[in-house]
Amino acid sequence: MTRSLTILGATGSIGRSTADVVLAHRDELRVEAVVGGRDAAALGKVARQLGARFAALADERGGEALRQALSGSGIESGAGEAAVLEAVERDADIVLAAISGTAGLAPTHAALKPGRRLALANKESLVCAGSAFMADASRLGVAIIPVDSEHNALEHALAAGSNRDVEKAVITASGGPFRTWSRERIAKATAKEASAHPVWSMGSKINIDSATLMNKGLELIEAHHLFDLGAERLDVLVHPEAIVHGLVQWCDGAVTAGLALPDMKVPIANALRDETRLTMDLPRLDLAAIGRLSFERADEGRFPCLSLAKAALRAGGAIPTILNAANEIAVEAYMAGRIAFYDVSEIVEKVCSTFSGRSIAAPSTVTEALDIDQEARQTARILIPALAGATRL
């Protein structure tokens, strides 16, 4: 049976991998709509490639360029917020949500429709508005399938038992480009160095979150909402080979782990499958050839962003929303060369501290989450000039 699919974030790294999966299974997957950010030419290309019926560009200024890119194809198009929502509203069995950042929160939430499956790759939906998002998904009967390799692996591992028997659920981190660097050397690292991820090919912002280990902290918050596990039952383990993506320690001492080569097409194919798995022509995991898998504890002294994210998860309320907003602004400033590496964690810590005394409840709606997000962003922006040019050890 053919399943219809809408791809939010079709021109990003997840979107491109999704296109590869779809092209390998044209008899089983039909693309209804594709959504991109600013690159009209790239969106037009992927829409043609996948035979989409509708293409929407978030940047309304690119509407004419998108129409030209699709000229003669018969594919409908639009640009701007209304066009993105039109794409989300169109009939589709599955929506793959891969718009990066808080910009993806509103359209991902709008994709929650009765009976749909949501293949979720947008962290902010759960980090910023996790309680509200999961409650709405449950009310509407939406099946949420995690696309991140770590959460996809945990979902597989957790199927081996009951949640009440979980002692610890662990996601892994490659350790990023600075895994073996001293704190002094890391303090002087440029954004270009931080963007050089040793394993995965992702966008610059996510690469830098991986270098600070904030990405793993955000994934812990996601896991809390996806699997209904408290902070005390979640942890991170550094695993440079990136073969074991997630593992579950059970109360009887047994461990169930999810392993795969580091290729996003594996969890994407799993998220798009029906009753049977999609066959993918990918290299197979050869443990004998690899020979050795190594693991380390995450060093929260050299990577304080992980510690801050864990604290935000324990604090609850709106602190995870505030943490994410402050981090986005701080990483943006770091990428622009305005602040140093450890200023990112300093800004996040100061912004979270500013709000922590107010005991702001967890946002009950996406609108509330976005309001809190904007206030936290403004607070972070005020801090940046005072830190610009300084080096934190």
Q: Is the pLDDT of residue 183 over 80?
A: yes
Query: What is the rounded average pLDDT of the residues 71-99?
Result: 97
Residue 14 in contact with residue 37, Cβ under 8 Å? no
Query: What whole-number distance in Å separates Cα of residue 136 and Cα of residue 141?
Result: 8
- For residue 300, count CB atoms less than 10 angstroms from its CB and return exposed for 0-12, middle for 13-18, buried for 19 or more: middle
In this prediction, residues 178-192 reach a mean pLDDT of 96
The predicted-structure confidence for 187-212, as pLDDT tens digits, reads as follows: 999 999 999 877 766 668 889 999 99
The pLDDT value recorded for residue 11 is 95
Q: Is the pLDDT of residue 123 over 80?
A: yes
Kindly report, residue by residue over 219-257, the tens digit of the pLDDT.
999 999 999 999 999 999 999 999 999 999 999 999 999
Q: How confident is the model at residue 389 (pLDDT cuts 50, 70, 90)?
A: low
pLDDT tens across 249-290, in order?
999 999 999 999 999 999 999 999 998 999 999 999 999 999
- Structure-token match 């935000």, residue found: 312
* Cβ(236)–Cβ(313) below 8 Å: no
Please give the domain boundaries of the chain with CATH numbers for all domains: 3-147 (3.40.50.720), 148-302 (no CATH), 316-393 (1.10.1740.10)
Q: What is the pTM of this model?
A: 0.94
- 374: which 2 tokens? 């904007």
% of the chain exceeding 70 in pLDDT: 98
Q: 118 and 145 in contact (C-beta within 8 Å)?
A: yes
pLDDT on residue 208 = 95
Instruction: Please name the amino acid found at residue 180.
Output: T
Residue 79 has pLDDT above 60, yes or no: yes
pLDDT in tens, 293-319: 999 999 999 999 999 999 999 999 999
Q: Between 154 and 206, where is the model more confident?
A: 154
